[in-house]
Structures are given as C-alpha cells and as structure tokens.
A and B are shown apart, each in its own frame.
Chain A
C-alpha cells in the first residue's frame, strides 16, 4: 500500500508570510496513463474537506492564486505565497494512483 508522509505536521505561520507543506510517497504516483493523481485538500475547523489542487498542480475553480502545487514522482509540495487568516485549518494530501487510495496524516496550519 502507498504511504503518504506529510511534513511538518504543525505549521505556525505569520500573516503575510509564505508556507510550504511536503507530501512524500512510498512509491511513484505516476499512473499508466501518464497522469499523477495527487491532490491537496483544505479542511477548515468544523468543516468538510475542500479540494484545492488536483493532478499535482491544477488549481480548482475559486481557489485563490496564492495556493500552488508542485512536484513529481514521489515528492510533492503545497505552497501558500502569503498566508491569510482564512487559511487556518488542516491540509491533507491524497493519492488516487494505486488502490487502496490513501491520505497523508494532515498538516495543521495556524497563525503565529
């Protein structure tokens, strides 16, 4: 089974400063069709998850441009260029390349 390891697990950030979250996979997430099915989700306190990024770097409609995804193979990163108060919550990576699908442990972003 694919294991996704996120770091850090806790991320205190000053408003207006950048933030970066890593997601490392125990095996390559490149599928036979050439796509890499790695997504990022934001879960604000008390809410359901919301998808931000799909297939590594594609931003969902309505997601602010300050969010970006990058990476390849087994190493992936979610970046927030300038953190705002509404970004507080837990961020999860998820792989949909190999069954069973799996999530990282989650990274809790808080404002310093």
Chain B
C-alpha cells in the first residue's frame, strides 16, 4: 500500500531555513508527480508546490515562490522541500501527497501523516 512518511519538521527562527523530506513506498515513485500541502493550526488546507515525475515541471503557490524549492531523488524514492527565509505565517503541518496522474497532474490521491514546522523566536 502507498506510504508517505515526512520528516525534518521542527522549530526554526524567523529568517531561518529547513529542509523537509518525504520517503515514499508502495508505488513506483519515479512515475508520479508529488505535492506539498500545508495546514496552519486550526486552519484549512493550502496547496504549496508540485513537481512532475521527471522534474520537468515545478509549480509553487505565490505565498512561497522564491523562498521554497521542491525537488526529488527518484533513486531514493524521496521528495524534498527546501524552505528558506521562513516567516511566522509558514507555521503549519506540512503534508507530502501523491498525484494520481502518471503523466499530467490530476490532483492528489494519497497523503502522508504530516510534519510540523514552527517558525518562532
């Protein structure tokens, strides 16, 4: 079965950096696009970023563009999110999520359990 396990969350000061990882198993990782989605405490879901299976396309929410970078290592079945210049409003649970599309993106079908990022001095 599909498993997505995030790691790398923690407490970071404003202006700091953090790299999240997502270890994938139970499917052919190199065939599917992947997403990051976040949820601030007590708030709704916010789509953050997408990367195509072969890294040929990457998309970002305006709120993180220029500060966050999505990447993947298909040899390690791992998705990453490099977060720089972190701000208080980046505080959230960050979810790794799988796209059901094997070529073009079709949305999200599976989610990880999430990792909490807290930006605070």
Q: Can you list 30 A-B pairs with a CB-CB distance of less than 8 A?
A: A35-B106, A37-B107, A39-B107, A39-B108, A41-B45, A48-B95, A48-B111, A48-B112, A48-B113, A49-B111, A50-B111, A51-B109, A54-B106, A54-B107, A54-B109, A55-B106, A60-B109, A92-B44, A96-B106, A96-B108, A99-B59, A100-B47, A100-B59, A101-B35, A101-B107, A103-B44, A103-B45, A103-B47, A104-B44, A106-B45
Partner of A100, one of B45, B60, B100, B112: B60
| Size class of the contact patch on chain A | 20 to 34
Give every chain B residue within 8 A of A102 (Cβ-Cβ): 47
Contact A96 B105 (CB under 8 A): yes
Contact B106 A37 (CB under 8 A): yes
Q: Is B102 an interface residue (CB 8 A)?
A: no
Contact with A along B59-97 (1 / 0, CB 8 A): 111100000000000000000000000000000000100
> Which chain B residues in 107-121 approach chain A with CB under 8 Å?
107-114
Give every chain B residue within 8 A of A21 (Cβ-Cβ): none
Q: Is B46 an interface residue (CB 8 A)?
A: yes
Q: Is B53 an interface residue (CB 8 A)?
A: no
Secondary structure class of chain B's binding surface, majority of residues: loop
| CB contacts between A and B, total, < 8 Å | 58
How many residues from B make CB contacts under 8 Å with A?
Answer: 22
List B residues at the A interface (Cβ < 8 Å).
Answer: 35, 44-47, 50, 59-62, 95, 100, 105-114
Contact with B along A100-112 (1 / 0, CB 8 A): 1111111000000
Give every chain B residue within 8 A of A103 (Cβ-Cβ): 44-47
Give the Cβ gap from B39 to chain A, nearest Cβ, in Å: 9
Give every chain A residue within 8 A of B112 (Cβ-Cβ): 48
Q: Quick one: closest A residue to B112, CB to CB? A: A48
